Amino acid sequence: MSSVLPPSLLGRLDGRRETPWLWVLAGFAAMFGPVYLAAARGLWQTDDHAHGALVLGVIAWLFWRIHRPLIELPAKPAPLAGWLLFAFGLLVFVVGRVVGISILEFGSQPFVVAGVLLLIKGPAAVRLAWFPLFYFIFMIPLPGFLVDAITGPLKQWISAIVVELLYDVGYPISRTGVMITIGQYQMLVADACSGLHSMYSLTALGTLFMYIMARASRLHNALMLASILPIAFVANIVRVIVLVLITYHFGDEAGQGFLHGAAGMVLMLVALAGFFALDALLARLLDGRAARRASPQ
């Protein structure tokens, strides 16, 4: 007797394995679709939270990358843990919807998804999907009190560093608090230019970079993780310098117009360049050290 199943039967079996996931996807869309739609019309239109839509796209891509291994996992459900996580996520979601708190609406997502994974496939599915589940964090809006507490000092530090650097190379620049004066122009360093939100979005970029590179060395990963915020800080400094120089050389309209948006791209490019450079340096140093240890004495 042949043990090979005909292609038509294999197709039907694959379809049956995928059916529960289609229902899950439909339920997730019905639950969180209105939240995303409201955010697209409001929250994600602001400079501080514009990265939310990009994070959603990244999460969809991350789950797509693992969807086949996820479907093929043997089903070993964990009902107790699954229902507890799902019920907790559902409670957080309902409270967020009723009182209109977006932090709770978005914060419920990883619990709901992790609960469903436990109910359908078990702990192995959660382990497989750990990074997409973690990445939901970057869709959660930061609490206002935390933003206010951290953004003020950040703006002060970045303003001081920018003024010091440009003054040292000969520009007629000074500052009063976070108000920078260069030539005949005055610029207020806004929250979007040097605040916590930009650090938050760059942290999302840095963790995604680490996940994609998938370095095996724990030391390498630890150093990369520790470097994310310093690199984000330096990238913010470069962005403010670019805006100040654009305003000084091309006028206030250029500084506040299209080139202001282009400076945001500079922020991302500087951060990416920093991540790539540090990753390559660490790979070279740590691989070299490992090779020396492995070589016979």
Q: Of 41, 65, 97, 193, which one is the catalytic site residue?
A: 193
pLDDT digits over 8-31, tens only?
Answer: 443 444 456 778 888 999 999 999
> Where a domain ends, among 86, 104, 139?
139
Same domain, 153 and 262: yes
Residue 1 inside a domain? The answer is no
Residues 110 and 132 in one domain: yes
Cα separation of 229 and 225, whole Å?
Answer: 8
pTM over cut 0.75: yes
Both 135 and 152 in one domain: the answer is: no
Give the structural domain span for 36: 7-139
Tell me if 253 is assigned to some domain.
Answer: yes
Bridging pattern class, strands 179-182 and 173-176: antiparallel
Query: Is the residue at 77 inside a domain?
Result: yes
Give the pLDDT band of residue 256 (cuts 50, 70, 90): low
Q: From the candidates 218, 239, 292, 293, which is the catalytic residue?
A: 239
Q: What is the pLDDT of residues 203-220, one digit of tens each?
A: 999 999 999 998 988 999
Question: Would you say residue 2 lies in a domain?
Answer: no
Cα(74)–Cα(107) distance, integer angstroms: 29
Assigned domain for 250 exists: yes
pLDDT tier, 261 (very low <50, low <70, confident <90, very high otherwise) = low
**239 an active-site residue?**
yes
Assess contact for 159 and 174: CB atoms under 8 A. Answer: no
Residues 125 and 149 in one domain: no
193 given a catalytic annotation: yes
Q: In sequence order, what E strands does the chain have?
A: 173-176, 179-182, 185-188
